[in-house]
C-alpha cells in the first residue's frame, strides 16, 4: 500500500500567505490597535482559507491546529498553576514580607543597585515584570525623587531588575512559553539563557553601584515609601517563616524535580501559612486560588501591588497561546514554514550563520509586531527543528528569543511592553535605555555567541542530559 506525502503549497503561494499573514498582524496590532488574540485568530482563519484555496485539505489543517494546541497543554497547565501560586503567596504573606524587608534595606548610596535587586526579587517571585513596574517600580521612582536621583537612572534600575527576573523566573510566562515552543526543559533553558543575560545583569549592577555613590548624601523616605511600609506591616504577619514557600520551591528546582509538582508544593506550603499566620479561612483561600488575592488596605499603591494572581489571571495568556497556535498551524501544515526554512538553509552555510539568522529574524518580527507573545509561538515553532539539523541544542533558540523578545521589549516604544514601561515609570524609552545596559548588552552578547560559536550548546549536550 503506497503512502502519499501531504500536499504542500508552491513557493509563490507560501510567500503570498506569509506576506498576507504579516500584513494582517501589522494592520490589526499597529494600525487598528485591536486585541492581539482576535487578530491572531482572524489571521489563522485567513491562512486556512488561503490554504484551502491552494488545494490543502481542510482535514489536514484542522489536525494541524489540534496538534499545535495539544503541544501547548503542559505550558497551559504550568501557567494555571503559576496563577494559583502567585495568589497563594500573596495571601500567605510570602511576597509582602519580601517587599517590606526589601524596602527597609534601601540606603541612599546604594539606592540604584538595591532598587535593581529588589525589583529582581519581586519579578522573580511574582513572575511578572509588568506587576513589578506598577508596584515596587513606582514606589522606587517616588523614593528616587526624594533622593535627587535622576529619574532615567532610577527607571533603568527598575527595568533591569524587573526584566531580568522576568527572563529567569520559572513563574514567568516568558520562560514557560519559550521552553514549550522550543521543546526544551524550562530550567535547562533558563540556565543557558544566563550566559548572555547573567553577565549583562552583573555589568548593570556594577554600573548602578558606581553611578549611584554620588547620591549617598540623600535620605530615604517619602509619602509613598512610608505608605507601603505601614500598610504592609499593618495587614500581614511579617514573620520570616513566610519565606518557607520560596525555600521549598528553590530546593525542589535545584534538585531538578518536575515543574508542576514543584509549584504545587509551593502552593501547599503557602496555603498552610495563609491559614495559620494570616488567619485566612479555607473557603476564602480556595476563592483566592481561583480569582486571585484581593485586599482593600486603604492604600492604592499597596492594593495594586498585592491584588493579583489566581487561576483566572492566566486565562488571557492561555487564550493568546491558542490564538497563536491557530495562526501558526496552517502555515506549518500548508508547508509555508518549509519554504521559509528552505530559504534559510540555502543562505545559512553553517550553524553559526543559521543561529544568527534566526535571531535576527525573531528580532525583526518582534519589531514589526511589538508583541513577543506573538513571536515566541510563531517563530519558535517555525525554526526549532532547524537547530538539531545543524547540530545545535534547541535551548540556543530559547536564549536568543528571550534576549530579542522579553529583553528587547522595553526598548521598543511602539511595543505593548515598551509603551507600558514608559507610561508606568514616566520616563521615555530612549531616556532610560542608556541606564539599562542589560537590555541591549544581552542582545549583543547573544549575537556574538551565535556568530562565533562561543557558549553555544551543541546537540551532544542535550543527548547527555537525557541520558
| pLDDT score recorded for residue 77 | 86
| Residue 182, pLDDT above cutoff 80 | yes
What average pLDDT does this structure show over 134-162? 81
What is the end-to-end Cα distance of the chain in Å, rounded? 37
Output the pTM of the full model.
0.72
Most confident of 67-81, 172-186, 320-334: 172-186
Written as nine digits, the cell of 203 is: 555589568
pLDDT at position 220 is: 65
pLDDT attached to residue 102: 67
The stretch 199-215 carries a mean pLDDT of 92
* Cα separation, 364 vs 114, whole angstroms: 34
pLDDT digits (tens, 9 = 90+) for 388-398: 988 999 999 99
The answer, yes or no, to whether residue 467 has pLDDT greater than 60, is no
pLDDT for position 460: 65
- Can you say how many angstroms the Cα of residue 210 is from the centroid of all Cα atoms in its chain? 29
- Vertex 415 angle, CA 119 and 26, to 5°: 160
Residue 458, strand partner residues: 392
248-263 pLDDT tens trace: 887 887 787 877 888 8
Q: What is the mean pLDDT of the chain?
A: 85
**Sequence ranges of the domains in the chain:** 11-68+320-466, 73-314
Cβ 328 vs Cβ 46: under 8 Å: no
| Model pLDDT for residues 208-247, shown as the tens digit of each residue | 999 988 877 666 666 777 888 889 899 999 888 998 988 8
Contact between 7 and 56 under an 8 Å Cβ cutoff? The reply is yes
Mean pLDDT of 6-23: 89
3-state helix, strand, coil in the chain (%, to 5): 80, 0, 20
Report the C-alpha gap between 330 and 466 in whole angstroms.
Answer: 31
49: Cβ contacts below 8 Å, ≥ 6 apart: none
For 334-350, the pLDDT digits (tens) are 988 778 777 777 777 78
**pLDDT > 90: what percent of the chain?**
37
Task: Report the pLDDT value the prediction gives residue 145, as an integer from 0 to 100.
Answer: 66
Nearest C-alpha neighbor of 399 from the set 465, 449, 467: 449
Label residue 300 exposed, middle or buried (CB < 10 Å: 0-12, 13-18, 19+). Answer: exposed
CB 374 within 8 A of CB 36: yes
Cell of 69: 494546541
Amino acid at each position: 500500500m503506497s503512502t502519499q506525502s501531504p500536499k504542500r503549497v508552491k513557493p509563490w503561494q507560501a510567500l503570498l500567505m506569509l506576506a498576507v499573514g504579516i500584513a494582517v498582524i501589522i494592520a490589526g496590532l499597529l494600525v487598528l490597535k485591536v486585541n492581539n488574540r482576535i487578530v491572531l485568530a482572524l489571521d489563522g482563519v485567513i491562512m486556512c482559507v488561503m490554504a484551502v484555496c491552494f488545494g490543502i485539505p481542510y482535514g489536514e489543517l484542522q489536525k494541524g491546529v489540534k496538534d499545535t494546541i495539544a503541544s501547548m497543554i503542559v505550558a497551559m497547565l504550568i501557567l494555571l498553576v503559576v496563577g494559583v501560586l502567585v495568589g497563594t503567596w500573596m495571601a500567605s504573606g510570602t511576597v509582602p514580607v519580601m517587599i517590606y524587608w526589601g524596602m527597609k534595606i534601601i540606603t541612599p548610596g546604594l539606592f540604584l543597585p538595591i532598587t535593581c535587586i529588589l525589583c529582581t526579587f519581586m519579578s522573580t517571585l511574582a513572575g511578572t515584570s509588568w506587576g513589578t513596574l506598577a508596584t515596587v517600580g513606582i514606589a522606587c521612582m517616588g523614593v528616587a525623587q526624594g533622593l535627587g536621583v535622576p529619574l532615567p537612572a532610577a527607571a533603568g534600575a527598575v527595568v533591569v531588575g524587573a526584566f531580568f527576573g522576568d527572563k529567569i523566573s520559572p513563574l514567568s510566562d516568558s520562560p514557560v512559553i519559550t521552553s514549550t515552543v522550543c521543546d526544551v526543559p524550562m530550567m535547562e533553558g533558563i540556565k543557558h539563557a544566563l550566559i548572555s543575560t547573567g553577565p549583562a545583569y552583573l555589568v548593570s549592577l556594577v554600573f548602578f553601584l558606581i553611578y549611584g555613590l554620588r547620591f549617598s548624601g540623600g535620605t530615604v523616605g517619602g509619602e509613598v515609601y512610608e505608605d507601603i511600609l505601614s500598610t504592609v506591616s499593618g495587614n500581614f504577619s511579617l514573620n520570616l517563616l513566610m519565606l518557607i514557600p520560596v525555600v521549598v520551591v528553590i530546593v525542589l528546582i535545584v534538585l531538578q524535580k518536575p515543574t508542576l509538582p514543584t509549584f504545587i508544593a509551593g502552593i501547599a506550603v503557602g496555603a498552610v501559612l495563609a491559614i495559620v499566620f494570616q488567619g485566612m479561612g479555607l473557603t476564602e483561600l480556595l476563592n483566592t486560588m481561583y480569582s486571585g488575592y484581593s485586599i482593600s488596605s486603604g492604600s492604592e499603591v499597596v492594593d495594586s501591588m498585592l491584588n493579583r494572581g489566581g487561576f483566572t489571571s492566566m486565562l488571557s495568556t492561555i487564550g493568546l497561546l491558542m490564538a497563536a497556535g491557530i495562526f501558526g498551524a496552517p502555515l506549518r501544515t500548508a508547508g509555508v514554514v518549509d519554504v521559509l526554512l528552505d530559504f534559510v538553509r540555502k543562505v545559512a552555510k553553517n550553524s553559526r550563520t543559521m543561529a544568527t539568522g534566526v535571531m535576527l529574524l525573531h528580532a525583526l518580527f518582534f519589531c514589526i509586531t511589538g508583541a513577543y507573545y506573538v513571536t515566541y509561538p510563531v517563530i519558535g515553532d517555525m525554526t526549532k527543528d532547524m537547530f538539531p539539523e545543524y547540530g545545535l541544542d534547541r535551548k540556543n533558540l530559547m536564549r536568543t528569543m528571550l534576549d530579542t523578545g522579553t529583553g528587547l521589549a522595553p526598548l521598543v516604544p511602539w511595543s505593548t511592553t515598551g509603551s507600558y514601561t514608559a507610561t508606568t515609570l514616566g520616563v521615555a524609552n530612549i531616556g532610560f535605555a542608556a541606564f539599562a545596559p542589560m537590555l541591549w548588552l544581552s542582545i549583543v552578547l547573544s549575537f556574538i555567541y551565535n556568530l562565533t560559536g562561543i557558549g553555544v550548546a551543541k546537540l551532544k549536550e542535550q543527548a547527555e542530559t537525557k541520558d
